[in-house]
Structure 1
């Protein structure tokens, strides 16, 4: 096989791109990832100590590589959650959820959006807020291509009776069974007359929007990041902001009648 010294990186749609996936992506479709965001010093190989890769050098100098640093919390102890399955929690699922919960509390309430690895951390945050009696401070939970497991985080569908819930996935990514299960469980309660908050599993490749011919897992960095942000913000406007305005009006009306 080839190595970075002997092989050439080929972007989809570039000359030499194998036609094996043309059924999904024609050659006029390019990656949504920001390939152009590079470090000029790395491209120029300033201070290089070994042979140059076959190239193109730009593809080996993406700014994104700088984000791939270890999570310092792995050096901290984990914890035990008696309502979770499994009960033993990793350091990452111990400390970040606690900090997220504290942030929501200090803000006096917030909508929380998580991504990828932090998806389950957001759910553990919900559990912590529940344990502290502050579940009402969470105005909405958005999970972008992350885990949505209720059993893993010690939660039940009923915990989201009043918390709007969105799971979202990008294009050409398999549907998450655990996210679908969670959304279905929440909506089963709605069908039974319990709770009012919206629960959706939004799949970008089912929206019928030509913008979403594909997107990177790192959606916040992709070339169509603003369009994806609009999908999320429009959902929030409809299911979180409008819901809270309606509640506020109802409370005001009740107060006026008194």
Structure 2
């Protein structure tokens, strides 16, 4: 085990970026697995003749049969010197994957490694339908996937000042004043965006609950669409969730089930310029209503409104912003204050 830990530490040090902390990351283990899913069976579909390799022979493609679908991919990193009292599960937003928490688009250290350095066992997943997790054919999922243009996140993630602020020419793109997103790497960021479906929420939630059943008790760190899944998963397994950090949840949980979270300390984190976009005003209003329902049941909810504490210019993708380390420190202090981690 000592040899394996030393080997892993060396490998992570060698594969890190030049801008990150110099000390190597020491792990006691790392790996990946798939969790959850179901078997879908198709029948009565026509058999096709296809050429699998250019210039190759024709072969039969029979789409009838059993398919494993809706399983979720998870990576884990178990730190050598653990300070987090439970694993930290990082859940991403809509149209994104677990890459959200890895290296930033401009090559700086992401929240994954920052929290590993702070002594947390970290699990990062690609939600069902995204990245290395399972999706399904149109014969199983009847809806069409949604794709995002480059314009969408520039405007919607509060990097530019709304409609008309994006241009194909980087020199002509308009920015919100003091914006912290690494705009020189915006095009690299958009390469992380993947299709998503609008009819698979139940499958996504089932994958997350299966992960909780496998590795928790745990703490959730969620972002955007992942915030909704975090709250709903906590409603389903309140005894297994020890804390929730919700970074700009794009939707809350079920109001009538909010009292189930009364024993879970919750932190809501919000960035800058929310008031300039009616969508984010609505999302925050939904979050606050959910938080109020938890507090009315006797629960604990804390808020970090970054501009109000002097941390300004943050986009919706604050874990990638130039001051991502400063925000990680705020979250870490809260986790320690709630006795979810040792100092």
Note closer, same or farther for the CA distance 1:113–1:94 as it changes in structure 2 (3 Å cut). Answer: same
Q: TM-score, normalised by structure 2?
A: 0.45
| Match 2:260 to one of 144, 159, 174 | 159
Q: d(CA) in 1 for partners of 2:169 and 2:218?
A: 51
**Match runs of 1:233-248 below 5 Å:** 233-241=332-340
Aligned-CA RMSD value: 2.9
Note closer, same or farther for the CA distance 1:148–1:65 as it changes in structure 2 (3 Å cut). Answer: closer
State the secondary structure of the residue aligned to 1:114: strand
Q: TM-score, normalised by structure 1?
A: 0.58
- Name the structure with the higher helix share: 1
Q: d(CA) in 1 for partners of 2:212 and 2:165?
A: 49
- Give the match for residue 110 of structure 1: 218
- Name the structure with the higher strand share: 2
- Give the match for residue 69 of structure 1: 194
Q: d(CA) in 2 for partners of 1:141 and 1:173?
A: 21
**Match runs of 1:119-130 below 5 Å:** 119-129=227-237
Q: CA deviation at 1:7?
A: 9.5
**What is the aligned residue count?**
172
| Cα pair 2:235 2:261 within 8 Å, conserved | no
Note closer, same or farther for the CA distance 1:142–1:155 as it changes in structure 2 (3 Å cut). Answer: farther
Say yes or no: does 1:182 pair with 2:290: yes
State the secondary structure of the residue aligned to 2:243: strand
| Cα pair 2:220 2:241 within 8 Å, conserved | yes
- Give the match for residue 172 of structure 2: 9
| Cα pair 2:235 2:257 within 8 Å, conserved | no
Note closer, same or farther for the CA distance 1:199–1:63 as it changes in structure 2 (3 Å cut). Answer: same
Note closer, same or farther for the CA distance 1:106–1:11 as it changes in structure 2 (3 Å cut). Answer: same
Q: d(CA) in 2 for partners of 1:222 and 1:98?
A: 31
Q: d(CA) in 1 for partners of 2:320 and 2:165?
A: 29
Note closer, same or farther for the CA distance 1:222–1:4 as it changes in structure 2 (3 Å cut). Answer: closer
Say yes or no: does 1:36 pair with 2:139: no
Q: d(CA) in 2 for partners of 1:6 and 1:34?
A: 16
Q: CA deviation at 1:168?
A: 1.5
Q: d(CA) in 2 for partners of 1:66 and 1:178?
A: 30
Q: d(CA) in 2 for partners of 1:226 and 1:141?
A: 19
Q: CA deviation at 1:189?
A: 2.7
Note closer, same or farther for the CA distance 1:4–1:188 as it changes in structure 2 (3 Å cut). Answer: closer
Deviations along 1:101-131, one digit per CA (max 9) or x if unpaired, are 22222113111111112221112212332xx
Where structure 2 has 5 or more consecutive residues not aligned to the other structure, the ranges are 1-163, 276-280
- Give the match for residue 321 of structure 2: 222
- Give the match for residue 15 of structure 2: none
Larger Rg, first or second structure (1 or 2): 1
Deviations along 1:172-201, one digit per CA (max 9) or x if unpaired, are 2135111111222222233xxxxxx52123
